[in-house]
Amino acid sequence: MKKLLISLYNQAVQINQQNILDLVKKQSNAEVLDLGCGDGQFSLAIAKKIQIKKIHGVDFSDYHLKKAQKAGLKTTKANLNCKLPFSDCSFDIIIANQVIEHLADIDLFLTEIFRILKRGGQAIIATENGSSWINIIAAIFGWQIFSLTNISAKEIGIGNPLALHKGEKILHSTWTHKTIFNFRGFKEIFPLYGFEVKKIVGAGYFPLPAQVGKLDPRHAHFLAVEVVKS
């Protein structure tokens, strides 16, 4: 069972990344920022899709920033729970994949994205979905939902016997999950900050193949939203 979950989860991660690439607009000479860029490999895929040579990346991990810089990103170290070190209206496109669920101050995060995004600019934000079927089933059993089993830096898998990395330790306290959106909450929060929601797509549909999530994003495991600064 655990091997099946891991396989389906990995498929869902890949489809979620493809969803982001499908949503991002081709725009030559665009200023693009990847928030939570990690080692920069997915950032490079974004740059290739947009057809730009330079992409900015932000992360809090020195280890990842070194890798991202070596990969060719223009890197900045920043805590995404704080104001971002960029001027108003700096970027045409902003990506934040699997970041928002780790943050304590979502209000500031979305306010800052709006501030540094150019008028008419595009932001794509992806996260896990508390309404996914696998999370709903876990809740019915009285278990911690899969998307919230890493709530403590002490140990992963609290409250869920099938958690993918149960018993392991989180390498950094900032990697714990703070907020998990359900589909409707994820859809309704962005207009509060001035964004226009264009599209929401899904990936992952345990125990069915991950691509089924595209057909029913309300119950997919990952959600990716495209919003525009109106």
117 in any annotated domain: yes
Task: Label residue 28 by pLDDT band (50, 70, 90).
Answer: confident
Quick one: pLDDT at residue 153?
87
The answer to whether residue 6 scores a pLDDT higher than 90 is no
For residue 197, give the amino acid letter. V
pLDDT at 173 over 80: no
Is the confidence at residue 44, as pLDDT, over 80?
yes
**148 occurs within a structural domain:** no
In a domain, 152, yes or no: no
Determine, yes or no, domain membership for 162. no
Residue 118, Cβ density class (10 Å: 0-12 exposed, 13-18 middle, ≥19 buried) = middle
- The 3-state DSSP class for residue 58 equals strand
Residue type, 79: N
Six-digit token pair at 39? 């080692």
Question: Mean pLDDT, the chain, as a whole number?
Answer: 95
117-132 residue pLDDT tens: 999 999 999 999 999 9
Structural domain span for residue 221: 2-128+173-229
38, pLDDT greater than 80? yes
Q: How far is CA 22 from CA 93, 151, 159, in A?
A: 14, 31, 36
Strands 117-128 and 222-229: antiparallel
- Reply yes or no on whether the pLDDT at 34 is more than 80: yes
Task: Classify residue 121: in a domain, yes or no.
Answer: yes
- Burial of 179 per CB tally in 10 Å (0-12, 13-18, 19+): middle
Q: Do residues 205 and 173 make contact, with C-beta atoms less than 8 angstroms apart? A: no
144-152 average pLDDT score: 95
Q: How confident is the model at residue 171 (pLDDT cuts 50, 70, 90)?
A: low
Q: Quick one: pLDDT at residue 32?
A: 98
Provide the number of structural domains found in the chain: 1
Whether 25 has a pLDDT exceeding 80, the answer reads: yes
- Least Cα distance to 130 among 184, 176, 182 occurs for 182
Judge whether 225 lies within some domain: yes
> 17 with 44: CB under 8 angstroms?
no
Q: What's the CA gap between 69 and 6, in Å, rounded?
A: 30
214 CB neighbour count, 10 Å cutoff: 17
In a domain, 140, yes or no: no
In a domain, 135, yes or no: no
Q: Give me the phi and psi of 226, to 5 degrees please.
A: -105, 125
Query: How far apart are alpha carbons 230 and 3 in whole angstroms?
Result: 44
- d(C-alpha 131, C-alpha 111), whole Å: 25
- Which CATH number characterizes residue 35's domain? 3.40.50.150
Model confidence over 50-98: pLDDT tens digits? Answer: 999 999 999 999 999 999 999 999 999 999 999 999 999 999 999 999 9
Residue 213, both tokens: 């999530």
Q: What is the pTM of this model?
A: 0.95
pLDDT class for 164, splitting at 50, 70, 90? confident
Write down the pLDDT at residue 167.
86
Q: Are 17 and 38 spatial neighbours (Cβ–Cβ below 8 Å)?
A: no
